[in-house]
Structure 1
Amino acid sequence: MRTLDRRPPSPEFLFVEEARRQRRSWGENLTFYTGCSYLAGAIGGGATGLLSGVRSFEAGDTTKLRINRVLNSSGHTGRVWGNRLGVIGLIYAGMESGIQAVRDTDDVLNSVAAGLTTGAVYRAARGVRSAAVAGAVGGVLVGVAVTGKQALKRYVPI
């Protein structure tokens, strides 16, 4: 039986440079990092809010009041954490794409430098010391994440 669809199975590109590139574009990067970090923050904040809502139970509370406390607390904390991490993801994606465009290479140093600058920019309004500490923390966190990803690729057969 003949197939009616004769398109090639691989994606087609207009330019050869696009086909050789093994990386997401800056727009895809922006969407991916912002969305993933917002989702992680919302889930983590919701879980933290759930725990604080349960801790705030009082002896005479009805079931309705307890449920309301838990929902309000988890919703508020999830929103706050999601927004904070979403902004951090947005800054990181922009920094990483900018550093990659300036250096014209794609390596681990781009990611670590983006983490460093993201932490510094995020905390810049609180002063130089806070920005320096946050930059160091951001660089270390990204370095650990990149190293862990490379170790996973190397040692875990998937």
Structure 2
Amino acid sequence: MNDDRQDSQSGAVFGEEGQGQGRLYNPYADLYGAADLKSLESVYRLPSAPEYLFPDEAVVQRRNWSENLTYHTGCGYLAGAVGGGAKGALEGLRSQEGSDTMKIRVNRFLNASGHRGRAYGNTVGILGLMYAGFESTASHYRATDDMLNTVIAGLGTGVMYKAAAGPRTAAIAGALGGIAAAGLVAGKQLTKRYLPI
């Protein structure tokens, strides 16, 4: 008897008894109008620029020297390894002879691509390391972060990379590094202007 009374109370709570007392609760009843996209645009006004919790975070717009060093070295190594690996793969495919077995062909292909990939990756990684050091140093001593730091870093990297080959070769490499850095800066500015991404 106790169970019957408990069942009747739970039925009243969940609306099973007394159908005339009201309607059942539907949690999705108010969501049918939410699919209107015009009303969503006025509710959610998204910012066009990043919002910062602390004003100090808005001032810092660049990586610090250690992040810069890691970024340029890693990207340089990756780019050099991929480019060198591709060149080595082509060399490995061209050097195959007609009498080679499949195992020897695959071995020659992998050896050539791995050898060139490591060599180019190390070289371009070192260039990225030197570039990051020069760029961070120029940014620190000039107390500004502009395009001239990039050109100075390219110039310094070229000079430092070919310093052992003599002053004339180092000057030419420095000029080429500065011109390449200036070209990259100009390309970045043109991309920002004409291809807004």
Alignment of 1:1-158 (within 5 A): 16=56, 19-158=58-197
Deviation at 1:38, TM superposition (A): 0.4
SS of 1:102's equivalent in the other structure is: helix
Partners of 1:55 and 1:11 in 2: CA distance? 55
Residue type of the alignment partner of 1:51: L
What stretches of structure 2 of length at least 5 have no aligned partner? 1-49
Deviates more, 1:80-89 or 1:126-135: 126-135
Scaled by the length of structure 1, the TM-score of the pair is 0.89
SS of equivalent residue, structure 1 residue 105: coil
Q: Which has the higher contact order (CA 8 A, sep 6+)?
A: 1
CA apart distance, 1:129: 1.2
Rounded Cα–Cα distance in structure 1 between residues aligned with 2:64 and 2:152: 18
Take 2:87 and 2:53, find their aligned partners in 1: how far apart are those partners? 46
How far apart are the structure 1 equivalents of 2:173 and 2:196? Answer: 35
Counterpart Cα distance in 1 of 2:53 and 2:196: 30
Aligned-residue offset at 1:12: 5.3
Aligned residues: 148
1:74 aligned partner, one-letter code: S
> How far apart, CA to CA, are the structure 2 residues paired with 1:51 and 1:129?
34
Runs of at least 4 residues off by over 3 Å: 9-13
Q: Which amino acid aligns with 2:166?
A: G
Q: Percent identity?
A: 58
Structure 2 distance, partners of 1:157, 1:134, is 33
CA RMSD, aligned part only?
1.5
TM-score (normalizing by structure 2) = 0.72
> One-letter code of the match for 2:106?
I
State the Cα distance separating 1:70 from its structure 2 match. 0.5
Deviations 1:38-67 (A, max 9, x none): 000000000000011011111200111011
- Give 1:11 shift: 5.6
SS at match of 2:85: helix
Q: CA deviation at 1:157?
A: 2.4
Q: What secondary structure, in the 3-state scheme, does the structure 2 residue paired with 1:65 have?
A: helix
